[in-house]
Amino acid sequence: MKRALLALLWFSACKLPDVRPQAARNPAQGIVFITTSLKGYLGPCGCSENMRGGIARAAFQISQAHDEGATVLVVDSGDALFGSETLTEEAAPQQKRKAQALADALKLMGVNAKADGPLDLAAGKDFLDALRLPPLREGVSVLDIGPGPNAPAVGVITTGEPARLKELAQQARDKGARLVVALYQRPLAEAQKLGMEDELGVDLLVVARAPGEADAETNKLISSKLPIAQAQAKGRSLLRLDVYDVGADGAFVLAKGAAEQERELEAIDQRIEALRTQVNEPGLAPQLLELKKQKLTEVVARRAAIAATPPTLPRGKNAFTVRFVPLESSMPELPVVRDVVTRYDRDVGKLNLQWASAHGRECPAPEAGQPRFVGDETCRDCHEAAFPIWEKSKHHDALATLEKKGKALHLDCVGCHVTGWQQPSGVCRIDKLEGHGQVGCESCHGPGSNHVEDPQKSNIANLKSPQVCVGCHDHENSPSFDFEKYLAQITGKGHGDGTRAEGKKPAP
C-alpha cells in the first residue's frame, strides 16, 4: 500500500497536459496495463526518426489513466530486465545498472505484480530479489479493482505449461478473482493452439514470451473462444484492459466490437509505419521531411481519438475490452521516469570506463595470413576521391551522434558506431575508442592490410549485397532500411561508380 501511494504521489506531482482528446469519465471500474517482453529496453536507441517505445512514455500513459476515474493496475508479464539469459563479464555492470533503472521505472509506474521470465534471472535470483518488485512467483496474484468489499478482483496467473492453466485459474477464483488473465510464457503460435478451449477458466490469454528477434513485431488480438492478445515486444506498445463490472452473474466477456476496433486501428498502424518509413528515407529534403513528420503526428493523434471511443458493451453482462497503446515518438514522457533513464545514461558510461580500465583487454591479432585494420587515412592515399562523399555521410560522424545522445560509452550502441569493434586488430575496449570513432572504409570493406600491400579487387570486400549492412541497419535500429536507397547516399564519383582517384601505392 505504501508503495502504491508513493507512486500516485509521483504521478500527481509530475502531471503534463493531456495530448489526447478529452473524454468523459470512464465507466470502467478498472484499467489494467500489461507490459510484455521489455527485454531490457528503457527506450529506442534513437538511430532513426520517430522510433516507437520508451518506458517514460509508457509511464505517462499510465499516469494519465488515473484521471479517468477507474482503479489502475500495472502488471509486467516477465522477461523485462535483461536482453539475454546470460551476462558476459564486460557487459554485467551496464546490464545490472539498466535492470535497476527498469525496476525503478516500474515501481514509479505503480507496478502491482511482476512475473519472472528467464531473462529476469540473468544476474541471479538474489539480484532479482534485491530489486524488490512485487512477485508473481507462485503463479497467482489477485488484485482488487476499487475500494469496498464488493469490488471486483482480477486474477493474474502465469505459466508456460498448458496443463497448469486450469489449475491456476481455479486458484485465482478461489481467492476471489472474477476476471482471470493468464500470462502465457510461450510464443503466439503455441498460444493459438489453446484458442478453441473454453473450459480453462481463463478470460484472456496474454502472450508473454517473444523468444526470437522477429517475434512480437506487431500487436495482435485474436477473438477466438479464448481471446488471445500479443503486444509489441521491447516496450513499443502497452496492452490495456478496461474492466466493466455490472454485477451480473457469469464470466466476463470480451466486449463486442473490441476486435473490430483493433482491426481498424491496425490499418491505421500500417499507415503510421508507412509514414515512418518515408520520414527515414535518406536524402529527404528538410521541408518535405518536416511535412512528413507533421502528417505522422496527425495520424497518431487520429489513432488515439479512435482508441478512446467508448466501446459497445453487451447488455446485462460483465465485460472487458482490449486495447493496444503504441508508444509513438510524439507522445510525452513522464518527467520522473525520464530522469531515471537520464541517470542511467550518465552512470553507465562511468561504469563501463571503470571496468575497461581495470579489466579491459586488447583485441587479439589476426591469424596468420588474415588482414588487419589499417585506418581510413591509409585508404586515403589511393582513394582520395571517395572521401568527400563519405565525409558528408552520417557514417563519418557515427560516434559523434552517440555523444550527442549521451550514449557514446554504451556497450549496447557503440559497436555500430566505430570501426572494428570486437574484431581482431580492431578496438575491444570502451576506453580506447580514439581513432576508431567512425563507420569508416573498413566497416564496409573489411580489414585492409592485405589490399594495401597488394591492391587487388580480390583481396578487399566489394559491397554488392545488404548482408554487411544489416548487422547494424537491422529492423530494430533502422526499420526503414532499403539497401539500394541507402547505398545511393554513400556512393558516387570515386566511390562505387567504377572510377578511382589517382594515387600512389604506399611504400612497404
Residue 505 lies in a domain: no
pLDDT level of residue 257 (50, 70, 90 thresholds): low
Enumerate long-range contacts of 126-130, CB under 8 Å, 24 or more apart: 127/96, 127/99, 128/81
Residue 508 lies in a domain: no
Residues 54, 162 within the same domain:
yes
Instruction: For residues 310 and 321, give the distance between their C-alpha atoms in angstroms, rounded to a whole number.
Output: 10
Instruction: For residues 290 and 285, give the distance between their C-alpha atoms in angstroms, rounded to a whole number.
Output: 9
Strand partners, 421: 427
pLDDT at residue 147, as a whole number? 63
- 391-439 tens-digit pLDDT: 988 899 988 888 888 888 999 899 999 999 999 999 999 999 988 888 9
**Percent helix, strand and coil across the chain, each rounded to 5?**
35, 15, 50
* C-alpha 163, offset from chain centre: 31
Least confident of 80-89, 170-179, 304-313, 448-457: 304-313
96 lies in which domain range?
2-336
3-state secondary structure 274-327: HHHHHHCCCCCCHHHHHHHHHHHHHHHHHHHHHHCCCCCCCCCCCEEEEEEEEC
Q: What is the CATH number of the domain that holds 456?
A: 1.10.1130.10
Whether 371 has a pLDDT exceeding 60, the answer reads yes
Q: What is the CATH number of the domain that holds 133?
A: 3.60.21.10
Residues 326, 409 within the same domain:
no
Sheet holding 30-35, edge to edge: 113-114, 71-76, 30-35, 237-244, 319-326, 253-254
DSSP label at residue 190: H
Of 499 and 232, more confident = 232
- State mean pLDDT over 245-257: 78
- 172: cell is 485465482
CA atoms within 13 A on the CB side of 267: 6
Whether 499 has a pLDDT exceeding 80, the answer reads no
Residues 258, 395 within the same domain:
no
pLDDT level of residue 493 (50, 70, 90 thresholds): confident
pLDDT at residue 148, as a whole number? 56
- 201: cell is 477458466
Residue 409 to residues 349, 404, 439: CA-CA distances in angstroms? Answer: 5, 12, 16
CB atoms within 10 A of CB 489: 15
Residue 502 lies in a domain: no
189, containing H or E segment: helix 188-191
Residue 480 lies in a domain: yes
Instruction: For residues 150 and 144, give the distance between their C-alpha atoms in angstroms, rounded to a whole number.
Output: 10
pLDDT at residue 506, as a whole number? 43
pLDDT at residue 83, as a whole number? 93
Residues 72, 189 within the same domain:
yes
Which residue in this structure is represented by grid cell 505449461?
Answer: 161
The H-assigned helical ranges of 24-140 are 55-65, 92-108, 125-130
Residues 153, 195 within the same domain:
yes
Residue 501 lies in a domain: no
Whether 7 has a pLDDT exceeding 60, the answer reads no
Residues 174, 123 within the same domain:
yes
Beta strands in 160-208 (DSSP E): 179-184, 204-207
Q: Please give the model's pTM, rounded to 2 decimal places.
A: 0.83
CA atoms within 13 A on the CB side of 343: 14
Rg (CA), the chain: 26
C-alpha angle 194-153-262 in degrees, rounded to nearest 5? 50
Least confident of 162-171, 226-235, 266-275: 266-275
Angle between helices 2-13 and 92-108 (to 10 degrees): 90
Least confident of 208-222, 364-378, 491-505: 491-505
CB atoms within 10 A of CB 394: 14
**Domain count of the chain?**
2
Least confident of 15-24, 120-129, 229-238: 15-24
Residue 496 lies in a domain: no
- Return the percentage of the chain with pLDDT > 90, whole number: 50
Residues 425, 471 within the same domain:
yes
Residues 212, 64 within the same domain:
yes
pLDDT at residue 263, as a whole number? 74
Residues 54, 172 within the same domain:
yes
Instruction: For residues 134 and 302, give the distance between their C-alpha atoms in angstroms, rounded to a whole number.
Output: 36
Residues 132, 269 within the same domain:
yes
Residue 61 lies in a domain: yes
Instruction: For residues 331 and 238, give the distance between their C-alpha atoms in angstroms, rounded to a whole number.
Output: 13
- State mean pLDDT over 357-386: 92
Instruction: For residues 397 and 282, give the distance between their C-alpha atoms in angstroms, rounded to a whole number.
Output: 16
Closest-CA residue to 450 (of 383, 377, 366): 366
Residues 275, 418 within the same domain:
no
Residue 419 lies in a domain: yes
* C-alpha 4, offset from chain centre: 26
Residues 165, 254 within the same domain:
yes
pLDDT level of residue 259 (50, 70, 90 thresholds): low
- State mean pLDDT over 177-196: 92
- 394: cell is 552520417
Whether 25 has a pLDDT exceeding 50, the answer reads yes
Average pLDDT of the chain to the nearest whole number: 85
CB atoms within 10 A of CB 298: 12
